[in-house]
């Protein structure tokens, strides 16, 4: 799902720009963090928006496993596990010292309820496909869960670390969207609609106790307003800063640390292949050839991006560099459109979510479409409308979006995903990948999947985007890289 973001090319591997901190100052009572978007709800098990995860995941809600900064699976509510029966049987030793913030104990019954709810036919979980391989869940003891799969799933533990896999309690699951109750170290203190969300550290919390007692997330979409708030010490940090033009303002200031890191974010021009003319491969290839992705990277993000040719990013160890695929060629694009019977003057609608990247890139796409004789109709949307019309009901032609989930090639094998992409060759490759446990075979299949998406031009893939964040130089524990969308406040602390 989407996120506001920017990107990095050579800077992706650059060291963080940490300069000498100012003289010792008093530790703030509240950590103030800026974000571009306000979440529509606070339940990551029913809502797909990345803004939800940015605030509550690993803070209010926890899962059986979690990902560390390097993308490795680590224990969370599951202290340890074993795998048997050829990858079909998972046994988890649970942390029964954990509890929900309302006092509800965490045990195997919670695991069964949460995952049965996530995989139910009427589930609203945005990643319901993750749980389809589950055949049964049993509880030999309160601290012991056994999950049996119908077939091996090479990424089962990895998917259990996603926010959509958060553990929820029966008594509060239905109201988590507005009043989240989780096992994490923080609770919702207040939500000032349109302004901020504040979390406070739980009392009677199991160890380790986070150093930050209170954190407020402030929703500031305008980059200049955000920069002024940082400069005026009204913000202690801004995650995924949306304007690279302003970074130099902070890179030379000893009060700040600027982190440029890797992320799994893919900036794409998504095409609804359930609608003509996008169900024609020639049209999809034409649209890819009609745009200069390198110019977009330069014009939109000052080269803070990496051109890609498929749905994966260089931070993934199985990444296949397909950046040379579908090079910019106006004449070739026009020939393909003529072959497909797309007349000059045809209108192409581009739905734009309310993000800086979407509107800037949308304007560029409109100019490129004009060069090949097409007319762009830009359709601005607020997030609820985009989530409902585009993501929820596939009621759109094309859209500009940044997909934030890591290793999410599975979305192209889903029968009802909003791209409308259906390819039997791809489906067979993905089914083979999912049940393969040999690392070398997995690597080869993952690259074949990327190649197939490029060959069929499943979407117009533009760029891989990084995580660019600005922090008070006295803070420690911030993640440079972002293997999965979240802001883990328990890792942060102030230096004296």
* Alpha carbon distance 187, 203 (integer Å): 10
Closest listed residue to residue 325, CA positions, set 305, 313, 309, 336: 309
Q: ∠ CA 98-209-216 to the nearest 5 degrees?
A: 100
465 bridge partner residues? 265
The pLDDT assigned to 28 comes to 80
Closest listed residue to residue 161, CA positions, set 46, 60, 75, 34: 75
Contacts of 16 (CB under 8 A, 6+ apart): 257, 258, 259, 260, 261, 480
Average of per-residue pLDDT values in the chain: 92
The pLDDT assigned to 475 comes to 97
257 bridge partner residues? 18, 471
The pLDDT assigned to 26 comes to 61
- Percentage, residues of the chain above pLDDT 90: 85
Q: ∠ CA 83-88-89 to the nearest 5 degrees?
A: 50
Query: Topology of 62-165 in CATH?
Result: Dipeptide-binding Protein; domain 1 (3.90.76)
Confidence (pTM): 0.86
- Strand, coil or helix: 46: coil
Name the residue ranges covered by the structural domains of the chain: 62-165, 264-466
* Alpha carbon distance 128, 46 (integer Å): 10
* Alpha carbon distance 400, 368 (integer Å): 14
* Alpha carbon distance 13, 469 (integer Å): 15
Domain range 264-466, its CATH number among 3.10.105.10, 3.40.1260.10, 3.40.1390.10, 3.30.70.580: 3.10.105.10
Q: How far is CA 398 from CA 141, 192, 383, 418, in A?
A: 50, 33, 16, 10
The number of C-alpha atoms within 13 Å of 70 and in the hemisphere containing its C-beta is: 2
199 bridge partner residues? 188, 215
* Alpha carbon distance 1, 19 (integer Å): 34
Q: Could you tell me the sign of the dihedral formed by the alpha carbons of 219, 225, 227, 229, in that order?
A: negative
Q: ∠ CA 53-404-457 to the nearest 5 degrees?
A: 155
Rg (CA), the chain: 23
* Alpha carbon distance 224, 232 (integer Å): 12
Question: Buried b / exposed e across 447-465, counting CB within 10 Å, b at 16+?
Answer: bbbbbbbbbbbbbbbbbbb
Q: pLDDT tens track of the chain, all 496 residues?
A: 444 333 333 332 233 333 333 334 567 889 999 999 999 999 999 999 999 999 999 999 999 999 999 899 999 999 999 999 999 999 999 999 999 999 999 999 999 999 999 999 999 999 999 999 999 999 999 999 999 999 999 899 999 999 999 999 999 999 999 999 999 999 999 999 999 999 999 988 888 899 999 999 999 989 999 999 999 999 999 999 988 889 999 998 999 999 999 899 999 999 999 999 999 999 999 999 999 999 999 887 777 889 999 999 999 999 999 999 999 999 999 999 999 999 999 999 999 999 888 999 999 999 999 999 999 999 999 989 999 999 999 999 999 999 998 999 999 999 999 999 999 999 999 999 999 989 999 999 999 999 999 999 999 999 999 889 999 999 999 999 989 989 999 999 999 8
How many Cβ atoms from other residues are within 10 Å of residue 234's Cβ?
Answer: 13
């Amino acid at each position: 799902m989407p996120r506001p973001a920017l990107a990095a090319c050579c800077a992706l591997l650059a060291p963080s720009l940490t300069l000498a901190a100012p003289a010792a100052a008093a530790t703030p009572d509240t950590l103030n963090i800026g974000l571009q978007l306000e979440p529509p709800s606070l339940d990551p098990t029913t809502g797909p928006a990345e803004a939800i995860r940015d605030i509550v995941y690993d803070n209010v809600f926890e899962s059986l496993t979690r990902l560390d900064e390097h993308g490795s699976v680590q224990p969370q509510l599951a202290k340890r596990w074993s795998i048997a029966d050829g990858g079909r049987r998972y046994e988890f030793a649970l942390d029964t010292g954990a509890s929900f913030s309302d006092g509800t104990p965490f045990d195997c019954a919670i695991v069964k309820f949460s995952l049965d709810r996530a995989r139910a036919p009427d589930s609203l979980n945005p990643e319901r496909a993750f749980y389809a391989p589950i055949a049964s869940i049993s509880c030999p003891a309160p601290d012991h869960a056994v999950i049996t799969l119908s077939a091996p799933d090479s990424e089962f533990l990895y998917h259990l670390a996603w926010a959509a896999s958060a553990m929820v309690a029966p008594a509060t699951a239905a109201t988590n969207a507005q009043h989240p109750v989780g096992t994490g170290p923080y609770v919702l203190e207040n939500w000032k609609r349109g302004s901020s969300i504040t979390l406070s550290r739980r009392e009677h919390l199991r160890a380790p106790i986070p150093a930050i007692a209170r954190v407020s997330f402030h929703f500031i979409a305008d980059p200049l307003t955000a920069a002024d708030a940082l400069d005026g010490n009204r913000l202690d940090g801004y995650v995924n800063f949306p304007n690279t033009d302003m970074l130099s303002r902070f890179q030379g200031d000893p009060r700040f640390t600027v982190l440029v890191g890797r992320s799994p974010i893919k900036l794409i021009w998504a095409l609804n292949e359930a609608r003509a003319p996008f169900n024609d491969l020639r049209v999809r290839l034409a649209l890819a050839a009609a745009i200069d992705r390198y110019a977009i990277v330069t014009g939109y993000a000052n080269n803070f991006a990496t051109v890609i040719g498929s749905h994966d990013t260089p931070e993934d160890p199985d990444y296949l560099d397909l950046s040379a695929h579908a090079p910019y060629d106006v004449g070739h694009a026009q020939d393909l459109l003529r072959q497909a019977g797309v007349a000059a003057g045809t209108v192409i609608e581009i739905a734009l979510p309310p993000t800086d990247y979407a509107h800037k890139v949308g304007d560029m796409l409109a100019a490129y479409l004009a060069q090949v004789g097409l007319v762009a109709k830009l359709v601005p949307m607020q997030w609820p409308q985009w989530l409902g019309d585009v993501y929820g009901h596939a009621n759109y032609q094309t859209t500009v979006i940044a997909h934030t989930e890591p290793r999410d090639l599975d979305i192209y094998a889903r029968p009802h995903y909003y791209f409308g992409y259906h390819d039997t060759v791809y489906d067979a490759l993905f089914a083979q990948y999912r049940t393969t446990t040999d690392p070398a075979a997995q690597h080869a299949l993952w690259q074949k999947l990327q190649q197939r998406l490029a060959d069929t031009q499943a979407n117009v893939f533009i760029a891989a985007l990084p995580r660019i964040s600005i922090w008070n130089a006295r803070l420690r524990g911030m993640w440079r890289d972002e293997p999965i969308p979240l802001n883990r406040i328990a890792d942060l602390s102030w230096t004296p």
